[in-house]
Structure 1
Amino acid sequence: MDDTKTSVDTKEHPDSEVQKYRVITLKEWQDNWVNHKIGFHQAEGHQLLRKHLDTFLKGESGLRVFFPLCGKAVEMKWFADLGHSVVGVEISELGIREFFMEQNLTYSEEPITEIPGAKVFKSSSGNILLYCCNIFDLPRANVGKFDRIWDRGAFVAVNPSDRGRYAGVMLSLLRKGFLYLMSVFSYDPTKYEGPPFYVPHSEIQALFGTKCNILCLEKVDALEKLNVGSDYFFEKLYLLTEK
């Protein structure tokens, strides 16, 4: 698989803070699942991840891989089938149940005692563990540390005002020698309100740069994927590694 590295395009929209106070509630996210408004789901899996999978896994086995805001991402099954241990967090119980159903996986469920009202779903094979709760509550469940994070559609989905908290949670979950793969979007935020929200390179640098080396692996035109008002829409794949 091609792991060609490209230089990062740091050009940013002058109105990059126009979405600063935009808020999507947890209920709205849950309603999206109920109403099948899940355009963010990629039934065939994420092609940029597939392309850079060797760079991400580095040939290592038995990794713990974390999926923030996992939805029913098919890549969770990819990693489990490769022998890795997968942990995800998702606010929608429906999304989690659909994952197990669509992947033909049997599972058990039980309440999370540390988080009132939350549940954890575990595949019968034991290598997929999905927490149904607010991602900011997750650290209380003592989920441990991770070798890898695959952040597809998570950092771009949390409310812009919560990005600092979100970055803090992610950094707290990383083991030494980690690799953190993150997909973000670049477009005209004055023409599309999100989500997915516009994420400038400077914000990734500000939130993760003290602890991580930040490399843009690839930038691709994604305008055809989403029906948005912006006349350009790019997806950027970042690789964050330990400093």
Structure 2
Amino acid sequence: MDDTRTLLDIEKHPNTEVQKNQVRTLEEWQKKWVDRNITFHQEQGHQLLKKYLDTFLKGESGLRIFFPLCGKAVEMKWFADQGHSVVGVEISELAIRDFFTEQNLSYSEEPIMEIPGAKVFKSSSGNISLYCCNIFDLPRANVGKFDRIWDRASFVAVNPGDRERYADIMMSLARKGFRYLLSVVSYDPTKHAGPPFYVPEAEVKSLFGSVCNSQCLEKVDIFEERHKSWGIDYLIEKLYLLTEK
């Protein structure tokens, strides 16, 4: 990255609408798991979540924590081991089975009667439930409300045209007094079609601002050599804390 440019400077793009019609199908996401094209998965967990864990949890116990588009995120077991209840949603059954296998957790599975073809996978301990379905169908399963939402590699993976619907679902699942950590990325969207999709700060505020206070906790340069193949020369991750107004 050119050191003469600040993080603020490089977030200003002439065409933030360039990705608005981009679409990735559920089948494409499922194929990524089959092909093991899952560079978005973080085996050691997310460093910013570790850094802001106290900000997220606020010392509370027995929380219900939601992981949208959870994949096989290792943090789900972290929270379960701390006595919290974890619920995730993921379109790839392979990802869900991988999670339980890799974390050495026994589990059961059962159909979700409200959503034809969908299943829920539950740890034998009872405090991890992963729903295998389209996230936009999840409210039909009556999953209840959540104290915390950890949104990493989810909002940035949703098709840009679906973001408003996605935000509405997140807010419908949030319990009074919620804390929502939202990770988004910034790069030049004219050079890479996504995903992950570029999310300008103005869109975070427009989608969540009517019901949430938003605070950008940190901006981090996460550009790696592999990202050069995307045609970009910088990649910034921004972590927002959303709380109830």
Q: TM-score, normalised by structure 2?
A: 0.94
Q: Which residue of 2 aligns with 1:26?
A: 26
1:240 to 234, 239, 242: 242
Q: Which residue of 1 aligns with 2:222?
A: 222
Give the 3-state SS of the residue equivalent to 1:31 in structure 2: helix
Give the 3-state SS of the residue equivalent to 1:37 in structure 2: coil
1:64 and 1:108 mapped to 2: Cα distance? 20
Give the 3-state SS of the residue equivalent to 2:185 in structure 1: strand
Give the 3-state SS of the residue equivalent to 2:89 in structure 1: strand
Distance 1:148 1:225, change over 3 A: farther
Deviation of the 1:225 alpha carbon: 7.0
2:8 and 2:130 mapped to 1: Cα distance? 35
1:158 and 1:134 mapped to 2: Cα distance? 11
Structure 1 unaligned blocks of 5 or more:
1-7
1:127 and 1:176 mapped to 2: Cα distance? 21
Q: Which residue of 1 aligns with 2:161?
A: 161
- Name the % identity: 75
Q: Which residue of 1 aligns with 2:76?
A: 76
2:172 and 2:160 mapped to 1: Cα distance? 19
1:146 and 1:190 mapped to 2: Cα distance? 36
Q: Which residue of 2 aligns with 1:196?
A: 196
The answer to whether 1:100 aligns with 2:81 is no
1:141 and 1:166 mapped to 2: Cα distance? 16
Deviation of the 1:230 alpha carbon: 1.2
Structure 2 unaligned blocks of 5 or more:
1-6
Report the more deviating stretch, 12-21 or 211-220.
12-21
1:91 and 1:50 mapped to 2: Cα distance? 26
**Letter paired with 1:179:** R
Distance 1:172 1:74, change over 3 A: same
Distance 1:226 1:156, change over 3 A: farther
1:189 and 1:43 mapped to 2: Cα distance? 27
**Contact 1:214/1:241 (8 A) holds in 2:** yes
2:169 and 2:8 mapped to 1: Cα distance? 27
1:179 and 1:224 mapped to 2: Cα distance? 30
Count of residue pairs brought into register by the alignment:
236
Q: Which residue of 1 aligns with 2:131?
A: 131
Deviations 1:170-213 (A, max 9, x none): 00000000000010000001111110000000111000000000
2:12 and 2:88 mapped to 1: Cα distance? 31
Deviating above 2 A after TM superposition, structure 1's stretches of 4 or more consecutive aligned residues are: 8-12
Give the 3-state SS of the residue equivalent to 1:207 in structure 2: helix
1:99 and 1:159 mapped to 2: Cα distance? 25
2:148 and 2:85 mapped to 1: Cα distance? 10
Q: Which residue of 2 aligns with 1:3?
A: none
CA RMSD, Structure 1 to Structure 2 (Å): 1.2
Q: TM-score, normalised by structure 1?
A: 0.95
**Contact 1:12/1:201 (8 A) holds in 2:** no
2:20 and 2:48 mapped to 1: Cα distance? 28
**Letter paired with 2:238:** K
